[in-house]
Amino acid sequence: MERCILVRSILGGVAAMLIGGAAAQAQMPPVNRVTAAARPAHYDGRCPASIEFVGTIFMNYQATVSYRWERSDGASGPVETVVVQGPRQGAVTRWQLRRPVGEVFQGVETLHVLSPIDIYSNPAKFQMVCRT
């Protein structure tokens, strides 16, 4: 009789842990955080210049994610949708600029995850000066 109780106790504990894990995942959003960086963050040289923006979407579990890049001049990139199966997904875009010679220009791009939750990256700031 003691064995039967022990087995039930072990199974009950495992079942509770499995159910608790699934419930915790259901309460946790699939996207953990979003980051972005400008490369280079400071540009001083010939123009037009191309600034690359690299973003990372960190995941708690697999999900379909829709996102777009949003710029400080009000422009937005196309909505892109990917199935993220690993712990993170990369996203890259470029902004090509031409400014008057000697003008200091500062801008920002932000990676905006639209679904399954609405979340923004940090602003990826950059500064550029065109010399020719």
Residues 13-57 pLDDT 10s: 333 333 445 555 568 899 999 999 999 999 999 999 999 999 999
Q: What is the pLDDT of residues 92-108, one digit of tens each?
A: 999 999 999 999 999 99
Cβ pair 117, 31 in contact under 8 A: yes
| Residue 9 in this model has a pLDDT that exceeds 80 | no
pLDDT for the residue numbered 2: 29
Listed by start position, the domains of the chain span 29-130
Query: What's the full length of the chain, in residues?
Result: 132
Is 29-130 assigned to CATH 2.60.40.3880?
A: yes
